[in-house]
Chains A and B, each alone.
Chain A
Amino acid sequence: MSLDLVIAIIVTIAAVATPILLAALGELVAEKSGVLNLGVEGMMLIGAVITVAVTLGTGNHLLAIVCAALAAAAAAMIFGVLTLTLSANQVATGLALTILGTGFSALFGQPYTGKSVPILRSPFPPELAADPFWRVLFGHPPLVYFALLMVVAVWWFLGRTRAGLILRAVGENDLSAHSIGYPVIGVRYLAVAFGGAMAGIGGACFPLMLTPQWVERLTSGRGWIALALVVFASWRPFRLLGGAYFFGFMMIFEIYAKSNSAFRFLPSEFWAALPYLATVLVLVLISLRRSGSTSAPACLGKPFVATA
């Protein structure tokens, strides 16, 4: 395997991994505050379709990404009102959000279907971005770097700031956080909104760097992978980074395995199913090492009702 091929593979993996990484980072923060939002896929689709609409309308990529984040965060607020204010079941509400996002994006996206969206290119000068070697560092679209930056930001926020500490406290023990006087519901609203915005940006990656167009169900289930990834990474931002790139690798590996006779000893469907089976396996390994306990936030998925 030549160095050129290795570099080409790395660049491709980064593109595939970035939307999952962004969405998973948002979900990680939401889950750390104790909220399980299964609507990631729906929010990504909303982000993707808004991105297409704004990019085709104004030609401004940055504006498109901001609008995608806001629209997906707004959708996340529907989830927030239901689960946080009305303490509805989070699993069902999250699924409903995915159904809504799928339907809304299909309807809203109809006029934009089948139009080419101008893609994002590397922000660096072509001498670096197109250099056969240095493109491994400089040849990525801006969202790839943004995702890496957000990994550090989320890690710093959760582990090094007071606000992050409060957020984790709310997720670990909402009752005592409440009794100390932290605004449990308020913190969770912010976390859910952040999760939505990040899923929206993750969705924006599809038309802007992966599949430069709008079609129904454009994200084809990547939101669910993002959800799995959070657990896979046992709620740690840097493991999330590793996990997302591992997933990206697995998705690309599938294509190599299918098109090279060296991998014919197992059916191609096995290689396609491998990322999902690997996730299950990793979940088991993680919990084995912790001897029976996962590092899931203790209040994950449980409604909080303030008692006077």
Chain B
Amino acid sequence: MQLRLEKRPEPSKLLQVVTPVAAVLLTMVLGAVAFSALGYDGLGAVREIFISPLAISYKWQDLAVKAAPLIIIAVGLSIAYRANVWNIGAEGQYIVGAICGTGIGILTNDMTGWWIMPLMMLAGAAGGAAYAAVPALLRVRFNVNEILTTLMLTYASVYLLNYLLAGPFKSPTSMGQPQTVLMSAEQTLPYIIPGTIVQLNAPIAIVVALAVWLVFSRFVFGFQIRVVGSAPHAARYGGFSADRTIWLAMLISGGLAGFAGILEVMGPVGRLILQFPANYGFTAIIVAFLGRLHPLGAILAGIMIAITFVGGEMAQITIALPFAAVGIFQAMMLFLILASDLLVRYRIRVVRPGEVPA
């Protein structure tokens, strides 16, 4: 008896939905075993990291706050990755978006008007898109690998932030600390559920995911990205331009990352600070893959990863589990989901001895 892989004509729809759930469940089982073997409270770790944030209602607001930026960035990355454009510098675009939006915020800090918030958001998205346009241009014009340019520009963006906070953006009332002024009430996203910390960015994240999904599945432009991504040569014959796809993929993913950045400033962070870069841009890459590069999947995956972060902190407080454990759980989850990809695309067939393979 022998196992054989057979390519499915169409990726299995059912398994696309089932495998991420299975991956999470398997992570919980393996994690409990592994951490028990290491001498930690394995079951407690799984309970705190995966169950408590859901079971305790006052943690839901934290999940919303943590998941919102992850979802917005991951939606953009899903589009880019489907087009085979490997933007791994969303972190940098997130930072530059926040910088541009905050620039408007500083200029309008003592003004009032309905236009201020939309303008800041627009500047954020534009900043992120512009920062992603550099690698896009280099890829299209000079065929420079975008994986490395996006990453290098992420490092550069951190120093840009440091520079601005040390001088041009520094608040006059910050007692010398490298931070901007606090965003005014006119520049702060409203709280949507009274008595909680959930701000407008949470519903915005859902709307962004839905809108992108709609555009992606219903309109030609989405089709273009799909075709070019899966078969560049076919796309060229079909009249689609590979260059245009790269541009679109980079601008959309960069723009959404920048948008997420300014929403954080207008939301939970409240101002630009040195510690603003919170790895959302990198974490969103996991979210995108966990969500199977699907905008709606990104919503669920974003919440899932938020659960592990929030739960990881709780585990540190309640059972003194080192926070590093969260990284191990996340990596395990991602490994399993990537491994299960095979099952989506291939069928495992048992070939009996003597049987002629089909």
Please, which residue of chain A has its CB at the minimum distance from the CB of B88? A91
A62 at the interface (CB under 8 A from B): no
Q: How far, in Å, is B358 (CB) from chain A's closest CB? A: 11
In the complex, the answer to whether A283 meets B144 with C-beta atoms within 8 Å is yes
In the complex, the answer to whether B144 meets A89 with C-beta atoms within 8 Å is no
Compute how far the CA of A273 lies from the CA of B155 in the bound complex, rounded to whole angstroms. Answer: 7
CB within 8 Å: A-B pair count:
141
B156 at the interface (CB under 8 A from A): yes
Checking A92, A269, A292 against B289 with a beta-carbon cut-off of 8 angstroms, the contacting residue is A92
| 0/1 interface trace, chain A 82-113, chain B, CB 8 Å (1 if under) | 10001111011101110110111011001000
In the complex with contacts A99-B331, A110-B322, A228-B151, A88-B138 CB distance below 8 A: no
Checking B88, B156, B357 against A276 with a beta-carbon cut-off of 8 angstroms, the contacting residue is B156
Residues 50 to 85 of chain B near chain A (Cβ within 8 Å): 81
B14 at the interface (CB under 8 A from A): no
In the complex, the answer to whether B342 meets A88 with C-beta atoms within 8 Å is yes
Please, which residue of chain B has its CB at the minimum distance from the CB of A286? B144
Compute how far the CA of A292 lies from the CA of B144 in the bound complex, rounded to whole angstroms. Answer: 9
Interface-facing stretch out of B157-165, B191-199, B295-303:
B157-165
In the complex, the answer to whether B338 meets A88 with C-beta atoms within 8 Å is yes
In the complex, the answer to whether B325 meets A95 with C-beta atoms within 8 Å is no
In the complex, the answer to whether A82 meets B338 with C-beta atoms within 8 Å is yes
Compute how far the CA of A296 lies from the CA of B147 in the bound complex, rounded to whole angstroms. Answer: 13
Range for the number of chain A residues in contact with chain B: 35 or more
In the complex, the answer to whether B153 meets A269 with C-beta atoms within 8 Å is no
Checking B145, B286, B326, B335 against A231 with a beta-carbon cut-off of 8 angstroms, the contacting residue is B145
Residues 243 to 257 of chain B near chain A (Cβ within 8 Å): none
In the complex with contacts A82-B335, A82-B338, A95-B285 CB distance below 8 A: yes
Residues 215 to 237 of chain A near chain B (Cβ within 8 Å): 216, 221, 224, 227-228, 231
Q: Which residues does A use to contact B, with CB under 8 Å?
A: 36, 38, 78, 82, 86-89, 91-93, 95-97, 99-100, 102-104, 106-107, 110, 216, 221, 224, 227-228, 231, 267, 269-270, 272-273, 276-277, 279-280, 283-284, 287-288, 292-294, 296, 305, 308
For the complex of A and B, the 8 pairs showing the least CB-CB separation, nearest first, are: A103-B327, A106-B324, A100-B331, A88-B338, A269-B163, A273-B159, A96-B334, A103-B328
Q: Which residues does B use to contact A, with CB under 8 Å?
A: 5, 7, 38, 81, 86, 88, 138, 142-145, 147-149, 151-153, 155-156, 159-160, 162-163, 166-167, 282, 285-286, 289, 322-328, 330-332, 334-335, 338-339, 341-342, 357
